[in-house]
């Protein structure tokens, strides 16, 4: 009987938990209203960009081709159809790059001038490397060994 009385008392007491669902609904509606009406931050930043002198794409840089041809006892170096020596190669290459690309300064010629080294199959690899190292020592940055297919016609300068 005591258990029945306790159970009846438990049902008779009002629930003390508040109903918060309407409160949450009101808060969400207020949050949406404030988000819509709040001013959006905009940042205006004035940027003064420099003007360039030239328009359009940069001019194409004409490459210089250094040819190494084999001889019975050694090798010969040619540039623009003229023979040169390993000692004069750096200066001659700079003159050739500046002559074929008059828009380049001396520093730009060293930095942007393209030099392709092409050799006969009979030339020893050490001679090709000596030519490439000489051009690198002359401070040319873009020196490459030119490769071609056997059926392709070799390019000529001049």
What CATH code is carried by the domain that includes residue 69?
A: 3.30.420.270
How many domains, the chain?
1
Whether the predicted pLDDT of 156 surpasses 60: no
Percent of the chain with pLDDT over 70: 81
Q: Is residue 54 part of a domain?
A: no
For 43, residues 6+ apart whose C-beta sits below 8 A from its C-beta are none
Q: Is residue 1 part of a domain?
A: no
Q: Is residue 73 part of a domain?
A: yes
Domain range enclosing 130: 64-145
Whether the Cβ atoms of residue 157 and residue 81 lie closer than 8 Å to each other: yes
Q: Is residue 139 part of a domain?
A: yes
Whether the Cβ atoms of residue 151 and residue 100 lie closer than 8 Å to each other: no
pTM of the model: 0.57
Q: Is residue 101 part of a domain?
A: yes
Tens digits of per-residue pLDDT, 100-147? 888 888 898 888 889 999 988 888 889 899 999 999 999 999 999 887
Q: Is residue 10 part of a domain?
A: no
Tens digits of per-residue pLDDT, 5-20? 566 565 666 667 788 8
Q: Is residue 91 part of a domain?
A: yes
């Amino acid at each position: 009987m005591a258990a029945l009385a306790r159970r009846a008392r438990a049902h008779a007491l009002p629930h003390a938990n508040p109903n918060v669902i309407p409160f949450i609904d009101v808060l969400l509606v207020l949050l949406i209203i404030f988000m819509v009406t709040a001013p959006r931050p905009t940042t205006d930043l004035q940027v003064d960009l420099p003007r360039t002198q030239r328009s359009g794409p940069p001019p194409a840089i004409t490459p210089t081709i250094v040819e190494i041809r084999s001889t019975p006892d050694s090798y010969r170096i040619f540039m623009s159809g003229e023979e040169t020596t390993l000692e004069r190669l750096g200066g001659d290459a700079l003159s050739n790059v500046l002559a074929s690309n008059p828009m380049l300064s001396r520093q730009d010629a060293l930095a942007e001038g393209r030099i392709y080294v092409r050799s006969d199959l009979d030339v020893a690899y050490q001679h090709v490397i000596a030519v490439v190292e000489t051009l690198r020592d002359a401070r040319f940055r873009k020196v490459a060994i030119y490769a071609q297919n056997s059926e392709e016609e070799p390019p000529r300068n001049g």
